[in-house]
A and B are shown apart, each in its own frame.
Chain A
Amino acid sequence: MSETLRHTPLFSLHENYGAKMVPFAGYAMPLQYADGIMAEHQHTRAHAGLFDVSHMGQVALHPIDGDMDRVALALERVVPVDVLGLKPGRQRYGFLTNDAGGILDDLMIVNMETWFLVVVNAACKARDIALMQRALSSECTVQPLEDRALLALQGPQAVTALERLMPDVVSMKFMDAKTGQLDGAEVIVTRSGYTGEDGFEISVPATAAERIAEALLAQAEVKPIGLGARDSLRLEAGLCLYGSDLDETTTPVEGALEWAIQKARRSGGARAGGFPGADLVLAQLEHGASRRRVGLLAEGRAPVRHGAALFADSEGGASIGVVTSGAFGPTLQAPVAMGYVETGYMLAGTKIFAELRGRRIPVTVAAMPFVPPGFKR
C-alpha cells in the first residue's frame, strides 16, 4: 500500500476486521473483508451492512448573516436543484454543472436548519470546495468538515440495529435528516444511502468514529462491507457512479437524472435556470437529448463491463453506445450493466448487442432499478 494514500479514521478498524485494502480516490479503502463481495452484498440486502464512506467530502455552508434563504439562492447558482424549497431536516440529491450542462459532480444537500451540509465525492472534493468558495463566499462560509467521518448503515435491518443506540431514528422517513447523540457523540443522521436499501448515513466526529463503528458492528444484524459490494449494490439499484456513469461530458437529461431538477428550476418555474449550462439543460428537458442512460441485461452469465461498445446489430454498423458500469449482480444472480445509447434504442425491451472479447452478445435494454428499492417513504 503506497504511503501517499490517505487514511480514514477507520483505517485500523478495517485492518482489524481483515479487510483487503485498495487505493480508491487517493484513500486506502476496504475492497472486501473475509466473507467476500458476494456474501457482503447479500448480507446487506438481507440484514444490514456498515460502510466507511469517510473519504467523501462533508462541507458546511454557514450563512454569513444568518439568512438561510440567501444561501439557498446562492447554491441554486451552481446546482439545478430547488434548494430554496428544501425544508429544514430534509435532504436532496443534486449535481454541480458546467457551462456545457455537463455534470462536475453529484452530491447531497442537507438543510440543517441553520446551515447546509453538502456531501460530495472523494475524487471531486477539492475542486467542488474551490468552486463553492468562489461562487458562494459572499453569502456563506464554505468549510470542509475534515474532523468528521461518515458511516453508511444500509439494509432492511439497519433501522433495527441503529434504533437500539439511537431510538428516535425509527420515526425518520427517507431523506430526513436530524442531529442527535449516538454513543455519547454528536452525530448527524440522514435516512438515505446509495445501495437501494433502507438505511442511514451517519456523520460522526472523527475521534468517535471507531467507537461508534464498533458499537454498530456489535449489533447482531450488522457486518462490515467493502467497496466491492457497495459497487454491485448501487449498480443493481440503478444508481450512478461519478466518473463511470456520469462525468463532465454527460448532462442530467442524458444521465436520466431530470427527476432531480424540480419544477421551480425548469422553464416556466419560479426560478427557472440560472445554473451553469442552464440553456442547454432546459432545452434538453423539453426536447430530449441524443443519448440516454439505460439499464442493460445480458443473456448468459458473462458480465458486460465498463467500456464495452454497444451495437444495433449482431455484426457491422457503427457503435450506438457504450457500457459505463457492469458487473455480476449477486441479488439477481445475473450480469447487470448500465450505459448510454442513442435515444432510438432507449426503450425498455429493445434488443441490442454488446461487444465482449471480440464477439457481440445480445443484451436487452431494461428498466432500472434492477432490484426494487427498500426506502421508507
Chain B
Amino acid sequence: MTLYFTKEHEWLRVEGDVAVVGITKHAAGELGEIVFFELNVSANDLQQGDSVAVVESVKAASDVYAPVDGVILEGNPDLAGNPELISNDPEGNGWMLKMTLTNKAQLADLMDADAYAALIG
C-alpha cells in the first residue's frame, strides 16, 4: 500500500490493482466546508486528467481530476448524505472513489508525501 499525490491536490492509495482516491487535507482546507459531492455519471473509462467528480463548498465548485488512467469501481457511498466527511477527514473516511489502474507506469510520475509537502510549502 503506497500513497501518491498529484499537483492538483488529489491523493491516491494503491492497494494491488485498485486505487482509492480523494483530495488532500491541504485542498480540503482551501475549499472550506464542503456541502456537496458528486461523481460525474459519465466518468468511467478515464484518462489521466479527466474531470471525475465535483466537490462544492459554500463558496465555490471545484473539479476533481483522475490522477491516472482507469475505470471507476465505486464512489464513497457515505458522501451523498454526509459530504462534510471530505472536510473533516479528507485523507480517511472522506475518500471519494475507488478505481482500477489501466496504466500503472503513470504512478512513477506522481509525488510521494515528502514531495507533496514541499509543493504546498
Q: Verify if A273 is at the interface (C-beta below 8 Å from B).
A: no
Q: A32-B32, A303-B36, A328-B35 are in contact. Are A37 and B59 (CB under 8 A)?
A: yes
Contact B59 A228 (CB under 8 A): yes
A234 to B83, CA, bound (A): 24
B32 touching A301 by the CB < 8 A rule?
A: no
> Quick one: which of A32, A232, A301 contacts B36, CB cutoff 8 A?
A301
A144 at the interface (CB under 8 A from B): no
Q: Is the interface of A mostly helix, strand, loop or mixed?
A: mixed
Closest to A32 in B: B32
User: Which single residue of chain B is at the shortest CB-CB distance from A35?
Assistant: B33
A327→B54 contact, CB < 8 A: no
**CA–CA, A41 to B58, complex, Å?**
10
Within 228-251 of A, Cβ neighbours of B (below 8 Å) are at: 228, 231-232
What number of B residues sit within 8 Å (CB to CB) of A? 14
| B112 CB within 8 Å of chain A | no
Contact of B83 among A301, A305, A357 (CB under 8 A): A301
- Give chain A interface residues in 8-42, CB to chain B under 8 Å: 31-32, 36-39, 41
Measured CB to CB, the nearest residue on chain A to B33 is: A38
Complex: how many Å from CA A38 to CA B54?
19
A232 with B58: in contact, given A37-B33, A328-B35 (CB under 8 Å)?
yes
A194-247 contacts to B (CB < 8 Å): 228, 231-232
Q: For the complex, is B69 an interface residue (Cβ under 8 Å from A)?
A: no
B50 at the interface (CB under 8 A from A): no
Contact B32 A36 (CB under 8 A): yes
The number of A-B residue pairs with CB atoms under 8 Å apart is: 43
How many positions in chain A have a CB within 8 Å of any CB in the partner chain?
18
Q: Nearest CB to that of A329 among chain B residues?
A: B58
Interface presence of B61 (CB below 8 A): yes
**Chain B residue contacts of A302, Cβ below 8 A:** 36, 38, 56
Task: For residue B28, give the distance in angstroms from its CB to the closest CB of chain A.
Answer: 11
Q: Knowing A301-B83, A357-B54 touch, does A327 contact B36 (C-beta < 8 A)? A: no
Identify B61's interface contact among A41, A231, A303, CB under 8 A.
A303
In the assembled complex, the Cα of A231 lies from the Cα of B61 at a distance in Å of 15
Q: B30-59 CB contact bits vs A (8 Å, 1 = yes)?
A: 001101101010000000000000101111
Mark B residues whose CB is within 8 Å of A. 32-33, 35-36, 38, 40, 54, 56-61, 83
5 sample A-B contacts, Cβ–Cβ < 8 Å, listed by A number = A41-B58, A232-B58, A302-B36, A327-B59, A357-B40
Interface residues of A (CB under 8 A from B): 31-32, 36-39, 41, 228, 231-232, 301-303, 305, 327-328, 330, 357
